[in-house]
Structure 1
Amino acid sequence: MDASRFIAIKNFHSNLLNNDRDMFIYLPLSYASEADKRYPVLYMHDGQHVFLQDRTGESWDVHLAVDRLVAEGKMREIIVVAVAHVEDARIAEYMHANPDGYNAFGMKNQGELYEQFLLQEVKPFIDKEYRTLPDKANTALMGSSAGGLVSYNIGFRHPETFGMIGALCPFFVSVDSATLGEQWLSRVYKEKAELKIWMDVGDSEGYTVMEKHVRQVADSLVQAGFKTGEDLMFHVAIGSGHSQNDWAARVHAPLLYFFGEIGTPIRIELHGPEAVGLEGQRCSLNAVVHYDSGFVMTDLNARYVVADPEMIEARADGKLLPKKTGITTITYIGYDLTARFDVEVVPYVSEMVTMEMYVKVPDNTPQTDRLYAGIELPPVQERLFGGTFEVPRDVAFMFRISRGLGKHETDGKGREVPYRSFKAADGLRLYYEVENWIDTADERLAEGLR
């Protein structure tokens, strides 16, 4: 990236939070040559990952996505302000007060203070120092995981300032991987606000961020009056986990939605379960609409035609309501496009499945009482972790085996290994072996720093 278009502000001080952090600013290509031109602004959390590689060697590469889309004439030029987090304070700053009144992960929630930091300290500084279009129609706020959650909260609390909200894999619920206990980390807003919202979730995030929780919030937005395809874009990303690489792969979609033209639908993909039970697990279709611009979203207001409507009902939002056993075909019709999906209705599909997983670790493994392989694994004998687990059916995991934050597996030569993946199924047996470890950070907040 051209250094003249990339500004690093070191140790930007917050009087409100009483700490310092870096900010990284991307300026558009025409900024230096068109002295009278003003630009929309995208504010992003976790700023050290937005343009630069993080400790696992990954980045959103937002500057590359913006440059490409602008060069292709698909979006306006924008300024991007990447506000870094303070590591020890990150999870607390990204958490607002929640309905139950507790503080997340043993820290005092500071979301309200962080919100004021953006409103009173960051945005005024940016609007003063750079040629911005400061109104809400030209100001977006975006983040992922806990950064997606804080974007959602700030958007609804201050729609007069941030008119566009990007919540990628928002961390609404903390799930205990051992007990599957759920702890909601945020209130769910039931009222309509004047916002454009992008919300998504990967289908392979395991317990980190679960599709059902994000979908529940998306459903509440629709019930509040948001129109899918208009002021709400929702997407269940196929084959996507919970990493900078995953968000980089689809950041072009909210960029197009906020600052460009999404184009014309050209293809529909229907994803769903092979079998639906009259009793047990509830299921939905994921109608993924692909556009000629590269934009993609899940249609929550579709038209479905069932070959045998007495067998199953497919609602506009994709939810499936089985009525009797058998096999039938569901056809999606929309945007002058069609797609078909065959489904079998059976008497019962359990919500939980039983599976086994074991991980063997090398001799140089430091003493640890657990591993993470999508599932938290206890030790069973020397150099072996694992056991038998009850897991929600069809939940998918994409992961590297780790001993905690930044302490993940590498190959024998210290190189990153590809992400592993599996989808939970009854009787599944998995055996992995770690060749070596890389230590790039300590384990502070290993469960909370999401």
Structure 2
Amino acid sequence: MKSPLSILLLSLVFVSCLNHKKQEVSTFADKGLVTFVITGLPEHHDYKQDLYISGDFEGWSGGKDPFKLNKTNNQYQISIPKYSETLSFKFTQGNWATVECETDGNPIDNRVYSFTTTSDTVAIKILNWNNPNQKNKPTTASKNVHVFAEEFEMPQLQRKRKISVYLPPNYEVSKASYPVLYIQDGQNVFDVNTSYSGEWEVDETLNTIYNETGFGLIVVAINHANEKRLNEYSAWDNKRYGKGEGALYLDFLVNQLKPEIDKAYRTKPDSENTGISGSSLGGLFAHYATVKRPDVFGKSMVFSPTFWYAKASFQFTKTHPNTAKFYYLVGEKEGQDMVDNMNAMVELMLANNFSEENIYKKIVPHGMHSESFWKTEFKPAVLWLFVRD
């Protein structure tokens, strides 16, 4: 039994944590606040279910208690402070398996809100909820995509991960070896049914490139870690989101996964023929991995990198110049902060002995923080990194 003194101390700690959280939210709220009010829900919606908002401001967790919507008389709403100029988000029933979707069950793009005033109210209509129990959904993955491992061991992190592999159309009838691209957030790479906001259609795009040019590429897609995604994709600790595990995750890729891929397939294992890719936090990680280990990853596809999440990435990059190839992409609709941070990183690299001819920067006026944007930009990025003279 706890003594009255220990109960008092625990109570004080709890209250202190609550006050700290309130102060943090209050600091952001002073800059601006938006209230999302749910004005439309699917006919079959169960009002016993809690709803959550999940987005770039809380790490795309799928649903955290601090971001649970308030419910009064079956009316849901939540106020979000101005964590950044632009918010990207979706609504869920607590996880990505129950994320909002189109009426026909297909994924929707991320919702985006840009702050233009200090106080705003936005009406939201949710068309449908993804049904994780729906069976026999046809896969959209091509025939040359297969599962390499359902539960690949990650000893550095004491976890397991699903790994999927795309092979070029002529792989089985050829004796050639191929370059390899490692892509983060593997759920969104090949199959719409495993994604929560649409797929990149990497397999269809590479099949088209092969038919047009004869270029073949092996792709290794590594599923993300769900609630540990933020930790694995950043090498630096974050006060709001926790400990960075990016160095351990990189060690896993280099010392566990890549040797097994090189053993199982006819790869070109040198850095000149090995690339890494990711978007959002995955883009931050792709940048870090290439800066840290250019001897392994000689090509980096960095889509919509969240450099704001780890400001220490700037100083780290400044002190690690190399000659790897970097392809940077951001959309103006992602917010000025995203554009400014990417521009600042590229300028820093050019001022600190990175090769100008090996850095490509693309800013798309109508580009949004979404899978559909990254899908359309995948082809030009592959061609610049792997096929250009």
Q: TM-score, normalised by structure 2?
A: 0.60
Between structures 1 and 2, the one with greater helix share: 2
Deviations 1:251-307 (A, max 9, x none): 112100122137xxxxxxxxxxxxxxxxxxxxxxxxxxxxxxxxxxxxxxxxxxxxx
Q: Secondary structure at the match of 2:209?
A: helix
Match of 2:155 among 10, 15, 34: 15
Q: Secondary structure at the match of 1:51?
A: coil
Question: Is residue 33 from structure 1 mapped to residue 179 from structure 2 by the alignment?
Answer: no
Conserved? CA contact 2:165–2:218, under 8 Å: yes
- 1:254 — aligned with what? 381
1:272-311 mapped onto 2 (5 Å cutoff):
none
- 1:47 — aligned with what? 186
Q: Distance in 2 between matches of 1:212 and 1:112?
A: 26
- 2:200 — aligned with what? 60
Q: Following TM superposition, by how much is the alpha carbon of 1:92 offset from its aligned partner in structure 2, in angstroms?
A: 0.3
Q: Distance in 1 between matches of 2:355 and 2:144?
A: 40
Q: Secondary structure at the match of 1:24?
A: strand
Indicate how the Cα distance of structure 1 residues 148 and 20 shifts in structure 2: closer, same or farther if over 3 A, else same. same
- 2:265 — aligned with what? 130
Conserved? CA contact 1:5–1:28, under 8 Å: no
Question: Is residue 236 from structure 1 mapped to residue 376 from structure 2 by the alignment?
Answer: no
Q: Following TM superposition, by how much is the alpha carbon of 1:8 offset from its aligned partner in structure 2, in angstroms?
A: 4.6
Conserved? CA contact 1:144–1:170, under 8 Å: yes
Q: Distance in 1 between matches of 2:284 and 2:383?
A: 21
Q: Secondary structure at the match of 2:173?
A: coil
Deviations 1:92-139 (A, max 9, x none): 011112xxxx43533211111001010111101101111111000100
- 1:365 — aligned with what? none
Q: Distance in 1 between matches of 2:143 and 2:378?
A: 22
- 2:241 — aligned with what? 106
Q: Secondary structure at the match of 1:105?
A: coil
Conserved? CA contact 1:95–1:185, under 8 Å: no
Aligned residues: 246
Q: Following TM superposition, by how much is the alpha carbon of 1:241 offset from its aligned partner in structure 2, in angstroms?
A: 0.6
Deviations 1:314-363 (A, max 9, x none): xxxxxxxxxxxxxxxxxxxxxxxxxxxxxxxxxxxxxxxxxxxxxxxxxx
Q: Following TM superposition, by how much is the alpha carbon of 1:192 offset from its aligned partner in structure 2, in angstroms?
A: 2.5
- The letter of the residue matching 1:106 is Y
Match of 2:255 among 109, 112, 120: 120
Match of 2:282 among 125, 129, 147: 147
Match of 1:223 among 351, 363, 377: 351
Question: Is residue 159 from structure 1 mapped to residue 299 from structure 2 by the alignment?
Answer: no
- 1:201 — aligned with what? 330
Q: Distance in 2 between matches of 1:240 and 1:22?
A: 30
Conserved? CA contact 1:95–1:104, under 8 Å: no
Indicate how the Cα distance of structure 1 residues 8 and 104 shifts in structure 2: closer, same or farther if over 3 A, else same. farther
Conserved? CA contact 1:202–1:242, under 8 Å: yes
Indicate how the Cα distance of structure 1 residues 135 and 219 shifts in structure 2: closer, same or farther if over 3 A, else same. same
Report the identity percentage: 30
Q: Distance in 1 between matches of 2:240 and 2:302?
A: 21
Conserved? CA contact 2:276–2:299, under 8 Å: yes
Conserved? CA contact 2:301–2:328, under 8 Å: yes
Conserved? CA contact 1:173–1:213, under 8 Å: yes
Unaligned runs of 5+ in 1: 175-182, 263-450
Q: Distance in 1 between matches of 2:332 and 2:253?
A: 31
Conserved? CA contact 1:192–1:225, under 8 Å: yes
1:48-447 mapped onto 2 (5 Å cutoff):
48-53=187-192, 55-73=195-213, 76-97=215-236, 102-174=237-309, 184=311, 186-188=313-315, 189-190=317-318, 191-206=320-335, 210-228=338-356, 230-261=357-388
Conserved? CA contact 1:94–1:114, under 8 Å: yes
- The letter of the residue matching 1:205 is E
Q: Distance in 2 between matches of 1:58 and 1:104?
A: 30
Q: Distance in 1 between matches of 2:302 and 2:239?
A: 19
